[in-house]
Structure 1
Amino acid sequence: MRHMSYSFVMWSFTIRSKVVVAMAVCPFTTSSVTCLHHSYGYQDITVQRITCQDNKMFCGQTVLKWGCALKLHSLSIYFHYDKVNHNYNIFFTGIFYTAKADICLSSPCQNGGTCIDVMDNYTCLCPKEPLIYVGKDCELLYDACAHVNCHNCISTLGIDNYFCLCPAGFGGPDCTLTLDTCKSNPCTGIKNRCVDAVNGYSCHCPSGYSGEDCKTHVMDCSENPCLNNATCIQTSNDYECKCGHGFHGTYCEYDTDECLSQPCQNGAICLDGIDVYHCFCVPGFQGYNCEIDINECASQPCENNGKCINGKDHYICECLIGFTGVNCDVEINECEETPCQNGATCHDYVGQYICECVSGFEGISCEMDINECISVPCLNNGSCIDLVNRYECDCSGTGFAGTFCEEEILECSSEPCQHGATCHDGINQYTCQCWPGYEGNNCEMDVDECEAQPCENGGMCFQRSDQRHYGVMAQLGPSFSYEYADGFLCKCLAGFMGENCSFNIDDCEFAQCLNGGSCEDLINAYKCFCSPGFTGFICEVDIDECKSAPCKNGALCEDVINDYICHCPVSGRPCLNGGDCMIKWNDFICSCPQNYTGKTCDIRVWCASSPCVIGSQCVDLPDGYECLANATFENNALKFRASGSLSAPVTVVSVKLRTRTENGTLLRTANGLEFFHMGLLNSFILVKICNSINQEVLAFYSEVEVSDGEWHHVELRKTGSYYALSLWKLTVDGKVAGLSQAFAANLDFFNHSTLWLAENFTGCLGEVRIGGVYLPLIGGIHEEAPQFSQFIQYGSIKEPQIGCSGAPLCLLYSCLNNGSCQDLFNHYICDCAPGWQGENCQDDINECIYEPCIHGTCKNLPGEYLCQCALGYRGKHCDEDVDECHELHCENTGSCVNSVGGYTCICPPAYSGPLCQWSFPPLQCGVDVQCMNGGVCMNGPWGANCTCRLGYTGERCEMEIDECESNPCLNGATCMDQQTQYICECLPGFSGDKCEAPRQQQRESIPWLVVAVPMICFATLLVVVGLGCMMLTARRKRQSEGTYSPSQQEVAGARLEMGSVLKVPPEERLI
């Protein structure tokens, strides 16, 4: 029997501040230092050497996959005694960590195995529950029969149990024990000593006796009664068995259990051996009997002056202030918990932190706001408000201001008193001295004098303090003043007057009842009672008693006041003014001269004599005529006067105009305190009226602009023609555009005043009428118009131009880039061509910013844009999908499928390629394809292809190109096709390569040819001779040097690709 002694060794070291425990079982031999392998598939790895406990030798122990491990929580040691080989199989369980885990990141361990990184390798700690796995990556289930030497082994994979079917005579877990057939004491009688044998037993006499009756006393060692290699000592009449170490009993049949005395201390596991025991220490102890408590502090694991406290199987580091971690290796970052408040900066130090406070805070953690108000900085009873790093003084209610309330507030500086009141400043107060008509602390309240309704007879009350009325109402003056703001002003209804509108106006005082008519006063009106023979509102119409044709028999009726006179025809001549009389049955007809009309040619036709200047239109009136014309003005005003000729009240003013002038005067007149003004203000019509009855200025505007270069008809009309006072209505182009806010009388003062027309005005005027009477814009009338009511033009510096015409702006300013100019009367507009913009069409429009190209890139061009379409699209905007199948056709019955930007040919089985043009499988040069006429065959991805020589074409270079196909020969010449060229046979009279030149031209060039051709031939001959000599010399030289030159046959037989050049091989000297 082989005797082995073992030493169980444990030591510790630190990796990454973690305690690592390594263990090994070392055999005490003088040869190999290899540690015992352990079971369950783990491999032996030799690592760093250590010295065994008894220091007799060393064991080649290293960091095994199960050895160099970080202890965490618990560690268990298991061992199995191999009775056949007398070896111990050891493995560990528990939770392990290694110093390095990079290789384990790929998770190589299967079936729940734990990966442990070892140096540049890894090992897998395989699970043992519920099944046991083994192998490099725990990929195999544990087979218990693989580790035993028994026949007929039966096991379950993954379970640490097996069963051996032992042959007869053998037993034990591994069938390694010989069965003791004598155990049942089968021998009885005299031969009662049983001797076990293989597959049986035999009965013998008791020891010391022999014979059939066992009566012969024998003391002999010849039967080897001592077991377990015990030594048999023969005595005189007996023998004695001297047992070896580890056995006892009469025959040394009992193995001595050395573990019975419990030699292993501190919870170690005792493993009984033959004459030996082994203690497997729990972590934290060492020594043969595990009696030595390992001092984990011996390696001084605690850093940074930490105090190490040794414990069982562990140690504890008591760290100094400022450090933490298992080994006090981590400096505590006191700033990590952000102790500094209020935006302070934290500075970390060992065991402490310091806060660098922002301005305005203090304290260890900057938690206290510095009270800047402690110094009482605010003056004059101001309240101090503490803020961060500053303070504010609240000076409210103190009468002072400033940073420190040091400045006395001048309450009047904010102008608290309203409506022009005078402010008197005091300490923290002020008083307002109001103007009459205002009240309140700040004079903010306007006393409403109209509240008591002082205006009678429906008069409208206006406060003098209302600034809107100044400059409009004549009674209030042109500008507002608080001095006169107290009180009210009554605007009376038409027909009343007085401070409170309490007096009825006698309208007859201003009435004009003509022709002896009598006036009756009404409220804001009057009524004329006419004398006999007159009618009309003011009795201005003489009743035409002839209207009823009272005269008979062709008599001429003459109207007189309140009567008529019949003038009987004299001598049968009723037609007047040279008219010819034609007698009709019981009547007559007058054929009047050109200038007269009427029944008896008594009515004058004034326009028949063309009294108006060219460019004007003559319009007949009952008592005269008017010359109507449009005229163009350019700051050339006209003056007119009526000289009392207006017979009717002036209740309407109308003007036709066309202009772009924004400010100017159209018509104005004045007579004493009465005046009228119609003009342009910021392109709007402005009207101002003041007459003697109401004595206030009416001013109002049109609601529409008229300075737009278009013709407009502006009319100002009194709304109530029969009332002395009435509102005036302003219309523009027939639509109401303004209305006066007060009443005004007729504009009869036009009859006796001078009128100014078109002052500071540029533009055109058409008909201008006052009270229906036309203002003639053009002078030069042949004779004075006969009508009674008319305006006479006088004193004009320059007459306007007949007709309406603006400046020729389209001639002065040109529209660029094919733009067309539109003349809009002193204004022009350029209608730009597509792609251009700007006042003169000078700016190119970048159409690309509108992204017109749907499937393409836009390129801006002058006046236009271009869409560069993506593959597969076309159209102006790249919006049309190109159907490539219409333009391309798949060959060999392939079907074309269109796609965006391309196409796909679906080929039949025997063809392939983009167009199904190539056979499939691909053709090979020399096998399937032979190129003709010197063509070169090349294998490509889709098969063989022929590259043809010049002059040939076709799929296999089978066709010679006909150079005569394009008919290059001229003048009826015959073309003869040659390889890579053609020759033209000219008709008589022509010459040249293409027979393009007449023969005469060719003859003219003969003298040059006579000189040039012989010279060229001679030069060519010299070159040929020279080259021949050079080649002969070179050949002789190469032969003399022993060089190699390929033969003509080799050159001709060499395989050349198209376009390649044969290079002469380098010289090779013969050896």
Structure 2
Amino acid sequence: SDGAEAESQILDFPHNVTDGEWYSVEAVLTNWALSLKLLDDAGICGDQSCYRKVLVQRTIVGQEASPQNTFIGGTLENPNSSSESSAFPFIGCMRDVFVDWQLVVPEEWLSDSAVNVSPGCSHRDRCLDEPCQNGASCVNLWQSYRCQCVRPYEGHDCEEEHVTARFGNEDHHSFAVFSITDDLGQNLSISMFLRTRRHGGLLLGLANSSSSYLHLWLEDGKVTVQLHNSEQLKAGRAVHDGEAHFVKVEVVDTRMSLYIAEQKQGEMDVGSVDVKAGDVVYVGDPLERSNTSEFGGFFKGCIQDLRVSNRRLQFFGLDASVRSFPLELMENVTAGCSGDNTCSGNPCLNGGICFSKWDDFTCTCPVSTAGRRCEEVQWCELAPCPSESECRMLQHGYECYSNATFLNDSTVLSFRGNGHILRNITTLSLKLRTRKRNAAILHAEEGSSFITVSVQDGVLFMELQSSPGGDSRQKEEVEEEEEENGVWTVSLSSRRSVSDGEWHAVRLFMTTPWALSSRWTLVLDEDVETSLSRKRGGNLNFLRKEVNIYLGGLAPEAGWSLAGCLGTVELGGIALPYFSSSEVNLPRLQEEQFLLKSSHPPLAGCSAAPVCEPSPCVNGECQDLFNIYNCSCADGWAGRRCDILIDACISSPCIHGNCTANGLTYECTCELGYTGADCEEEVDVCENHLCANGGTCLHGPDKYACLCPENYTGPICSERVEEVPWYIIVRNVRPKLPVSVCGDNIRNYTCFNGGNCTNRELSCDCPPGFHGHRCEQEVDECRSNPCLNGGYCRNLVNKFHCVCDMSFAGDVCQTDTERAPYSSREAAVLAPCLVGLAITAMLGLALAAAKLRERRQTEGGFSPRRLQAPGGCNPPAELGNTSISTLAERVERLV
């Protein structure tokens, strides 16, 4: 009906039906509703609804029974219409079209009102042919296709590339100016492909009639942008590597962002920008070239596909029609991106071969040269130094380092500066090897200033007297201070001796080298402990002038000459070379040098005096210990020169025996019980002993004795002794201690060995040393083996007694009599004798008592000191500790 006043209603589904398959759709318009239904023949609806319905006003339907006009596939173009449905006409095929349940015959479609409609449904995906070039993506349009080009390509198939503009070719100033023909508003976008090797240069600017308000330039190889007078926004990565980089600047709602290769480099708030028609875009060096100085000069490189707010700025036209702002002016800008011929100026030095690359070059350097332009000569690879020295590279030259030998009668070396030394000399380093306790190492003086490095009493010593500032070029600056303080004198010494024949590294330096005066520090052998001067001193700049610097002595014929070796000495890092210009193979080109002025060259290397020629050792070998010798004497000889015959027995080689000298050798007569060449081995007489039944072997002098266990006796414990229980009635056998008869008129019992009766039933209180129900058992104090060093333990009443081996004494045999002092040895000898006598007396009393008994009882045999060989008579027997009582003493009533 009336389209101008009608209200629109739109129904849609979320399903994608643009896959080339057939679908069935039904749309129904009734008096009050509009419905849309997707018939799920292909099964795409799933859980989602394929039916939509919306209520409509009655005025939408109108009064007619059917629509007056039916449009299929699109509507007539109406420029005043804003309906979304009229924007994109249908592309595809339709069949079985019903309008009000009436089939619309295709022949009726193909009338004069049909536009771009053909019968049938022929279709093929045009993108299968891959028509789009240069990485573009293809969009299928049923009967055609559309290519979505990637930058910097244009055209129907993206076959055409934007022509690259070359700026600064052969270092010519270049620029181009474009005019803005449309108002771009307050949102701005600038993008381009950029290729350069320059660290700086103005890329682009925007200007109006009054001033430039946007600048884009390179700073340290990084893209930088500034809008109006805001802060600068600088990229985090550099782009001056000769590769193409995509650069984009965006200003959206007063916020500016910078991108490199689609990666955001930063953003910041800026003032609003308003690009209007009539403004200009200048690329490269603008007309007023002096303005580019603050941006690093003019730009040199290539720019491609430059766009401002998606409008092209074409330096050179394309065949494809694209919208571009007009080019107003261009100067020294060439098409393409060819680089300069950087090898035309022959930049490679010392015979290097130049290879050109885009706006740059590389040099293939010959052997012994290095650097970007082969400007650095590898001097040491040309073997300029003598064979006995080491070549070391310097910044613009080389130096030969070596050791030099100084003898007492050798010539002192002299050096001087070449007059081109500009650095401050605040350090001195050297390596030293000597045995001389007093000698001068280095000495130089000029006026009141001097320096002396020497060895005094074996200790390294430095004495320095220097004006502040050091030379005449600094005297004006320090004149007032010099009048007040005069000169500084510094004394410094090492904490250890250096006259030991070993190499020592020495470093002397100002603690604060930038000051006019400073305390000096001495470091010996990189020691943690350093020596620090008490006073402050000046530097060594007075050595830069025509001053003689002496090595190896105070001066020629002045004495205090050095005997030893020196490594190459350095003053302020500049070597004092031991080789003159005529002795090296190539010239030394470094500007700052010390020159050897002595007419006689030093002795190269480090060699000592031939102290072993002829051999000073009479009966030995000579060892050269650098300017001193040592004799390793043969056996029997001593003295510095091995000329003294020594007594072979003077060192007491016989440990347990007497020494007899026999020329250069000796012979040992060993004491009893020891053997070996030096009587160092003790004879083990128990090694193959015959003590049986667990008998213990006791060491003796050249013999052994057996200590038998309980119930065994004999020389080798081979005879068994019958055991008699305590309760067997034996007449005249008494317990060791008195007995007590306890009990009442009903029962009685006996407490043996001094046990006392108690109120407890049939029990006794036993004295120390006994236990048991009737105190009939004696406590064995030897059970814990208290005797040390193989001593035999004798169990006594409430105590024990140790019978020690021949070599030991003490309560528990803890004292070794063989190793005791002389006074203790006498006691150690007497003690066993006294113990032996006591044991013999006890054994005699025991034998006498045994004869009174009816039956003898023993518990093993033991011969403490009178040692007998196996097969001899049995040793005296010892009474056992078993308690025995007579029948009268044991009568008691049993319960």
Place the TM-score, normalised by the shorter chain, in its bin.
0.3 to 0.5
* TM-score, normalisation: structure 2: 0.35
Could you say which structure has the larger radius of gyration? 1
Structure scoring higher RCO (CA < 8 A, sep ≥ 6) equals 2
